Chain A
Amino acid sequence: MTTRIDRRGVLAGAAAFGSLGALGIPAAWAQDARIRLLWWGSQNRNERTAAVIDLFTGANPGVAVEGESAGWDAYWARLATQTAGGNAPDVMQMDYRYIFEYARRGVLLALDDAMADGALDLSGFSQEAIAGGQVDGKTYGVSLGANSSTMIVSQAAFEEAGVALPEKGITWDDFAARAAELTEKAGKRGFYGSADAGGLEPTFEGWLRQRGKALYDAESKLGFDAEDATAWFAMWQAMRESGACVPADLQALDQLNIETSMVSLGHAGVSFAHSNQIVGYQGMSQTPLVMVPYPIGGPDSKPGQYLKPSMFFSLSANSGVPAEAAGFVSFFVNDPAATEVLGVERGVPESAPVREALKASLDALGQAQIDYIESLGDLAGPLPPPPPAGAGEIQFALKRINEEVGFGTPPEAGAEALISEATAILERG
């Protein structure tokens, strides 16, 4: 048998060789370290993150960063699957709720050594900012920014209807009256003063803290009782009945993301969110939005809100390039050019020098975030104890039970269901 190379064979060979290049084969000899990075977020965040990756690889020849992003829903499934397959990303974005589960299951790398030897420079961080990423005394997460709960208020909706915007320090009762007034004066079908936040865990937590209670106590037990939950569900039921907030079938359209929030869909003048999300909310809205702190319980109301790390970067315990990965995180939170690109999209930066440098370059939305965080003052209290295992499931239960109340279950029955389900989930762990 003779071998004959015809034109088609040559073409196939050339194509195969070319596709080797596409597979990244040249990278194998040109670069010796490859960092895999996984994060969740909007298109806006993806663009900013990609720009920082370019800056980093430009400044660090010999290191490549392979970025991958997903939406919040898909993110945790993807991270869990990759981790189970022994293929966890070297650097991963982490959430306050999940960092305890991942750290305690041995998935994350303790960063204390990297901090000690200078590979990870957190010298600009306050002690509280570092402590926010600690689990059982070790540091597993680097905060990418601080945020707090907020109301996102459509300034235009209130002004057009001639209703005064809710102000800082407004009580829940006055807020309900104000929202009902907006519904009535706006007089548009399918438009209401406020979203229904009865099923929203951060709002429930803020309200509980104002009453001197908590969502979870330091022993990972429920920090509230049936009486609190009844009052909470009854308050929102009264707002539904007075037309202050959207009815249950509208609120159920909200899938806990910015795109389907009541303000973004044009169904309400007020939504409940986190301060760094103002960037995303404003992107969805044609008219100006402003941030106002949560309403309060009254003159003897305690601080309900708190400053928290909006998200972290964590390193994989199995990373083959821990030093380079730590270097990337350090670059991400300290480098002047990188932090300018990132702005306050992930929250207000924790590093004091970075925050100072940013003030000159921030746009109005960025400035509004810093102002908002600084304006909270005595409305903000200490960080609550870490959420127990099962907190994510309880969050779903709260949403569902609030829906049940909205569709006809009495608040007392809803409260009982919440207590018994949440207790069962916590016991199961």
Chain B
Amino acid sequence: MPAPAAAGAAGAERAGRFARFWSANGAGYMFLAPWLIGFMVLTAGPALISLYLSLTDFDLLRPPNWVGTANYERIFTADAKFMASMRVTLFFVIFSVPLKLAFALAVAVALNRGIRGLPLYRAIFYLPSLLGTSVAIAVLWRQLFARDGLVNSFLATFGIEGPSWISHPDYALWTLIILSVWQFGSPMIIFLAGLRQIPTDMYEAASLDGASKSRQFWKITLPLLTPVIFFNAVVQTIESFKAFTPAFIISGGTGGPVNSTLFYTLYLYQEAFGFLRMGYASALAWILVVIIAAFTALSFLSSRYWVHYDD
């Protein structure tokens, strides 16, 4: 080899290190490859490109021009719709997640009493979660909560004349929260599994000591279930931030009436495909990523104060 000896030695050492690394880990990476390639090409790559596009004025039809942080500056200083959509989304997250978890837990506790036909009930209660994000259910919701829908027919039997819930700015978002709570199936299944993990001798000991059922729930069930509650809370919070289909269908893509259902994702969609501002929409998307990450980090930080791990 004509190269200087020192460089050659360094090169050989590098090659040797790589060979050692490869012989130890190569097989692992080979097994990982199908997932890794998919992640790089389908997730990480597009995400990085969108980060670049968020610094441009890309309009889908022409090549993007670099605009620096102008999109972000506009979002934070001159975009009333950004604030409006943020308010709607936060309201939705703050009410739908706790309500949904409470409902899921209540049903799970009821089902955990060893009733007959549990698999059947479990399936029935899980069903809405499978259907919930579909277009058909959103359309059904429109029918239920419209002026002459089923809900108002029911209220009319009590002599109450209800408004068109789905298209009234004071109530429209609540119908979406109810729709979300109704899809309590997946947290319920996880709660049910968590309840099964709690040793029954704890309850036996407690009832021997004369603890009431509700006291048992607050002092045994809930504390031992906190890891499961934590998991469900994180997953559902992320899901709620990303909610899109129901608002899109129910408001016809407008976020109306009066922006009352303008979810953040819906606003992002409007900017990207309605008004062809893909660069601006990319910036909105990255802000959402940061917000979700911040919420998740906060949950993890707070968890050490209220989540009890058994071991």
Using CB atoms and an 8 Å cutoff, list the residues of chain A in contact with chain B. Answer: 73, 76-77, 80-81, 83-84, 101-102, 105-107, 190, 248-253, 255-257, 260, 267, 390, 392-393, 396, 399-400, 403-404, 407
Complex CA–CA separation, A396 to B163 (angstroms)? 24
Assess the A102–B168 pair: CB atoms within 8 A.
no
The list of the 3 closest CB pairs from A to B, nearest first, reads: A255-B252, A252-B167, A77-B273
Chain B residue numbers with a CB within 8 Å of A255 are 251-254
Within 8 Å by CB of A399, from B59, B164, B256, lies: B256
- Residues in chain B near residue A105, CB distance under 8 A: 59, 61-62
Given known A-B contacts A76-B274, A249-B163, A255-B252, A102 and B169 have beta carbons under 8 A apart:
no
Within 8 Å CB of A404, what residues of B? 258
* Residues of the B chain whose Cβ atoms lie less than 8 Å from the Cβ of A257: 252
* B252 close to A260 (CB less than 8 A): yes
Known: A76-B273, A260-B252. 8 other contacts (CB 8 A): A80-B276, A107-B61, A190-B147, A249-B163, A390-B275, A393-B274, A396-B254, A407-B258
Q: Which secondary structure characterizes the binding site on chain B? A: loop
Q: Which residue on B lies nearest to A105, using beta carbons?
A: B61
Q: Check B93 for interface membership: any CB of A closer than 8 A.
A: no
Pair B257/A392 contact, Cβ less than 8 Å: no
CA distance A252 to B163 in the complex (A): 12
**Residues on A with beta carbons closer than 8 Å to the beta carbon of B147:** 190, 249-250, 253, 267
Nearest B-chain residue to A83, judged by Cβ: B61
Question: Do A253 and B166 touch (CB < 8 A)?
Answer: yes
- Chain B nearest CB from A386 CB (Å) reads 17
Given contacts A83-B60, A84-B60, A105-B59, contact A253 B275 (CB under 8 A): no
**CB-CB < 8 A to B164: which residues of A?**
249-250, 252-253
Given A73-B252, A106-B62, the answer on whether A403 and B258 have CB atoms closer than 8 Å is yes
A252 lies within 8 A of B168 (CB): yes
Q: Does B146 contact A (CB under 8 A)?
A: yes
Q: Which of A80, A106, A252, A396 contacts B257 (CB 8 A)?
A: A252
Is B259 part of the contact surface with A, judged by Cβ < 8 Å? yes
Which chain B positions have C-beta within 8 A of A253?
A: 142, 146-147, 164, 166-167
A2 to B128 Cα, complex, angstroms = 53
User: Is A400 a contact partner of B168 (Cβ separation < 8 A)?
Assistant: no
Interface bracket on B: 20 to 34
Chain B 256-281, CB within 8 Å of chain A: the 1/0 string? 11110000000000100111101000
Cβ B257 vs Cβ A407 within 8 A: yes
Complex: how many Å from CA A260 to CA B270?
21
Collect the chain A residues with CB atoms within 8 Å of residue B251's CB: 255
**Interface CB pairs A-B, < 8 A, 9:** A80-B273, A81-B273, A248-B257, A249-B164, A250-B164, A255-B252, A400-B254, A400-B259, A407-B258
> Given that A83-B60, A253-B146 are known contacts, is A403 also in contact with B169, CB under 8 Å in the complex?
yes
Cα-based distance from A267 to B163 in the complex (angstroms): 14
Q: How many residue pairs between the two chains, A and B, have CB atoms under 8 Å in the bound complex?
A: 82
Task: Determine how close the nearest CB of chain B comes to the CB of A75; give it in whole angstroms.
Answer: 10
Q: Which residues of A contact B239 (CB under 8 A)?
A: none
Kindly state whether residue B148 has any CB partner on chain A within 8 Å. Answer: yes
What is the chain B residue whose CB lies nearest that of A78? B273
Which residues of chain B are near A73, meaning CB under 8 Å? 252-253
By a CB distance below 8 angstroms, the chain B residues around A396 are 254, 270, 274
Q: Which of A251, A252, A267, A392 contacts B274 (CB 8 A)?
A: A392
- List the A side residues contacting B278 at CB < 8 Å: 84
List CB contacts (< 8 Å) of B60-102 with chain A.
Answer: 60-62
Partner of B275, one of A190, A267, A392: A392
Residues of A within 8 A of B168 (CB): 248-249, 252, 407
Asked whether B167 lies within 8 Å of A80 as measured between CB atoms, the reply is no
Contact between chains at A400 and B273 (CB < 8 Å): no
Known: A83-B61, A84-B61, A105-B62. A256 touches B258 (CB 8 A): no
Q: Which residue of A lies closest to B165 (CB)?
A: A249
Q: In whole angstroms, what is the CA distance A425 to B276 when docked?
A: 13
Q: With a CB–CB cut-off of 8 A, which chain B residues contact A84?
A: 60-61, 278
Q: Which of A83, A101, A252, A404 has the most CB of B within 10 A?
A: A252
Please indicate the chain A residues that have their CB under 8 angstroms from the CB of B61 in the complex. 80, 83-84, 102, 105-107
**CB proximity of A222 to chain B, nearest CB, Å:** 18
CB nearest neighbor in A for B148: A190
Within 8 A of A (CB), among B190-222: none
CA distance A105 to B273 in the complex (A): 16
- Contact partner, B60, options A81, A106, A260, A399, Cβ 8 Å: A81
Docked-complex contact A250 and B252, CB < 8 angstroms: no
Distance in angstroms from B164 CB to nearest chain A CB is: 4
CB pair A400–B166 under 8 Å, yes or no, is: no
A81: shortest Cβ distance to chain B, in Å?
7
The answer to whether A80 and B169 touch across the interface, beta carbons within 8 angstroms, is no
Closest to B170 in A: A407
- In angstroms, how far is the closest chain A Cβ from the Cβ of B7? 46
A25 vs B260: C-alpha distance in the bound complex, in angstroms?
A: 50
Say yes or no: B252 contacts A256, CB within 8 Å.
yes
**With the chains together, A255 CA to B255 CA distance in Å?**
11
Chain A residues lying within 8 Å of B59, measured Cβ to Cβ, are 105
Residues of A within 8 A of B252 (CB): 73, 255-257, 260
- Assembly CA distance A76 to B269 (angstroms): 12
Return A199 CB to nearest CB of chain B, in Å. Answer: 9
Provide the residues of chain A in CB contact with B60, threshold 8 Å: 80-81, 83-84
